[in-house]
Structure 1
């Protein structure tokens, strides 16, 4: 499945909800389904700067694709749900595809109206860190 196909799938899922509270609850539920991050990656070097809560992102290359894992503080379920959406779209994709990706699903599902400005800033930081990893590895793999 391509990055755009994954985004379209998420858009379809969010279109099922009319109420913003239902969308927010769905984001929380997605965060609860994110597999736990190994304790070895709960380190300062993996913290996402600019997040309202602590969110850790571990990135590594697995063959020719970028692999991402993340976690948050137990009280930060919305943040964990947001990073789970990014992982769902970008995980196990080639770095050059991640670097070039236009993540239109963020606007299409109305995330900016669902989260606080600080959480939106955190989401932007999560995406920036994932794209920076991709750019660095796209250069290495070309």
Structure 2
């Protein structure tokens, strides 16, 4: 499935939900279903967004594809991470670097998050895309 197909799938999934309470529950559930991050990667060198919530990110390149694992100590933040990883992880590095993520706007996610979380999810995406294009993860200076 392509990046855009995954985005479109999320858009359809969220459009079927009637309330934002239901959408928040879905985001939290996605975070709970996020594969566990190996404890070895929950170290300070992988801790990149850490104002309000602790977020650890680890990535590995395999055959031109970027596989990302992440974890957080906050439920909503972990769910937001799950959304981003669902769309991006496992794709070709060039696809990730060149992708335009529109699902956030289409599901009106920014309008229903605190400013810190809204800025944080965008910073997370930017950091992952920078990693894909430059080979290094850029630490964001905001919280999610």
Relative to structure 1, the CA distance from residue 71 to residue 78 in structure 2 (aligned partners, 3 Å threshold; closer, same or farther) is same
Relative to structure 1, the CA distance from residue 21 to residue 126 in structure 2 (aligned partners, 3 Å threshold; closer, same or farther) is same
Alignment-derived partner of residue 29 in structure 1:
29
Which structure 2 segments of 5+ residues have no match? Answer: 136-144
Distance across 2 between alignment mates of 1:50 and 1:124: 15
1:99-138 alignment, distance < 5 Å: 99-137=97-135
Alignment-derived partner of residue 77 in structure 1:
75
Deviant stretches of 4+, over 6 Å: none
Q: Is the 8 A contact 2:93 2:132 kept in 1?
A: yes
Two-structure CA RMSD over aligned residues (Å):
1.2
Relative to structure 1, the CA distance from residue 51 to residue 96 in structure 2 (aligned partners, 3 Å threshold; closer, same or farther) is farther
Alignment-derived partner of residue 56 in structure 2:
56
Q: Is the 8 A contact 1:7 1:104 kept in 2?
A: yes
Greater helix proportion: 1
1:33-85 Cα shifts (integer Å, max 9, x gaps): 00110111111221233653001111110111000001111xx1110010111
Is 1:41 matched up with 2:37? no
Alignment-derived partner of residue 93 in structure 1:
91
For residue 17 of structure 2, give the secondary structure of its aligned residue in structure 1: coil
TM-score (norm 1): 0.90
Distance across 2 between alignment mates of 1:51 and 1:71: 15
| Number of residue pairs matched by the alignment | 135
TM-score (norm 2): 0.89
Q: Is the 8 A contact 2:49 2:56 kept in 1?
A: no
